């Protein structure tokens, strides 16, 4: 079997009202072979730029055996040597292609990807949805979700308290404060300490991820689980978080972690340090979600998977649906990833220009009135 072509589909995934101040896209990848078996993958992070990186990687891959996944990963990784080997563009490009190679191997052998990763530790994968206000949170609980994450950049303590008071005790709550550059280490510690009484599933990105020592100071001062890692990729990018045991919950992004193999290797590293896995899926589409379901079903230290419950209307028109039932996604038993791409629908929603997520208005809110902003952090 030989690779004959690699195609990409940039699909508009901007929800109503915009996202992050601008356009949002999914980048789907299709690897074709001379035996008529094709594989699907997805890359996230900076899709329009990654699309070009994938085109460049074709020169390494055309004519190669797609079932030699580890060898091809190493070739692609070395091919990125002059472009930043663990950066989001290179890792994202490798991710989309490598994911498709696993899909091909599973289809060739007639087995789901999870079986190639050691088999199922579980038959279904628990997911959480997003809500920061009581009413939508209760609606999601009525739909069967057993865990919710809120965004608490401006009022973290107040947001969690309102949700915790409104929700049943058996519903887990976690919070993402998005590592804002203005949240100091002392403030992040104090926010975390005030959140301890609410028994959170985890406290995500309390400070920016660039400074590991700062994150270590925060996590070492709290008795609630701290989560981070969505902006890290490959075993090399996640190594320090794991080896120093800075986090309790690791959140690699399935669309830019470096591929299925890398996610599995990272989970094994984390397992040795008693760190749980909760992959980030915030900007990903349904192919990344399918891949994450397979990998997380195969590892013992899985906690929960992020899921976009209210996405664009065509999410499951462009890719086969993996339904959420009682807050879980059942692990597909079809060969490969177990999902298919509708290319006609993908072309009907062409990608949109990316716009910087940090707008002048956001910068204005971020860097002015620090005293007033700090007071809001601790409002109850």
CB 47 within 8 A of CB 53: no
Contacts of 350 (CB under 8 A, 6+ apart): 10, 11, 12
d(CA 27, CA 351) in angstroms, rounded, equals 9
Given a contact cutoff of 8 angstroms between Cβ atoms, the answer to whether 73 and 8 are in contact is no
**286 touches 318 (CB < 8 A):** yes
Question: Pick the catalytic residue: 83, 130, 178, 307?
Answer: 178
Residues with Cβ within 8 Å of 78's Cβ and at least 6 positions away in sequence, in order, are none
Angle between helices 88-109 and 286-297 (to 10 degrees): 70
Choice among 83, 155, 280, 328 that is catalytic: 280
* 3-state secondary structure at position 210: coil
Expressed in angstroms, the distance from the first to the final Cα of the chain is 61
Q: 246, 241, 244, 273: which is closest to 257 by C-alpha?
A: 241
> Does the annotation mark 178 as catalytic?
yes
Enter the tokens of residue 71: 């060898």
Q: List for the chain the helix, strand, coil content (%; round to 5).
A: 40, 20, 40
To the query of whether residue 294 is one of the catalytic residues in this protein, the response is no
How many whole angstroms separate alpha carbon 235 and alpha carbon 258?
A: 9
Dihedral pair phi/psi, residue 150, rounded to 5°: -110, 155
Active site residues: 178, 280
């Amino acid at each position: 079997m030989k690779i004959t072509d690699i195609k990409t589909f940039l699909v508009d995934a901007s929800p109503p009202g915009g996202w992050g101040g601008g356009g949002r896209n999914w980048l789907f990848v299709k690897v074709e072979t001379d035996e008529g078996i094709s594989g699907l993958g997805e890359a996230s992070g900076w899709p329009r730029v990654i699309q070009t990186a994938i085109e460049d990687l074709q020169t390494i891959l055309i004519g190669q055996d797609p079932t030699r996944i580890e060898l091809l990963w190493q070739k692609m990784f070395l091919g990125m040597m002059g472009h930043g080997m663990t950066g989001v563009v290179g890792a994202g490009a490798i991710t989309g292609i490598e994911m498709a190679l696993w899909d091909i191997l599973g289809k060739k052998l007639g087995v789901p990807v999870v079986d190639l990763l050691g088999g199922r530790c579980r038959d279904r994968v628990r997911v959480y949805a997003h809500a920061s206000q009581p009413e939508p949170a209760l609606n999601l609980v009525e739909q069967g979700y057993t865990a919710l994450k809120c965004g608490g950049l401006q009022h973290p303590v107040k947001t969690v308290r309102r949700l915790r008071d409104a929700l049943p005790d058996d519903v887990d709550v976690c919070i993402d404060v998005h590592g804002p550059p203005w949240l100091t280490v002392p403030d992040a510690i104090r926010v975390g300490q005030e959140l301890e009484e609410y028994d959170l599933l985890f406290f995500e990105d309390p400070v920016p991820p660039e400074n590991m020592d700062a994150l270590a100071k925060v996590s070492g001062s709290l008795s609630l689980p701290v989560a981070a890692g969505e902006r890290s990729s490959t075993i090399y990018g996640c190594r320090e978080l794991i080896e120093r045991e800075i986090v309790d919950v690791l959140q690699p992004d399935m669309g830019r972690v470096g591929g299925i193999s890398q996610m599995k290797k990272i989970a094994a590293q984390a397992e040795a340090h008693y760190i749980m896995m909760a992959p980030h899926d915030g900007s990903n589409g349904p192919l990344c979600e399918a891949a994450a379901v397979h990998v997380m079903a195969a590892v013992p230290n899985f906690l929960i998977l992020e899921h976009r419950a209210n996405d664009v209307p065509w999410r499951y028109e462009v890719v086969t649906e993996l339904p959420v039932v009682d807050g879980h996604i059942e692990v597909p038993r079809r060969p490969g990833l177990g999902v298919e791409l509708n290319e006609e629908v993908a072309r009907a929603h062409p990608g949109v220009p990316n716009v910087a997520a940090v707008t002048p208005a956001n910068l204005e809110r971020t860097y002015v009135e620090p005293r007033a902003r700090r007071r809001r952090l601790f409002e109850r």
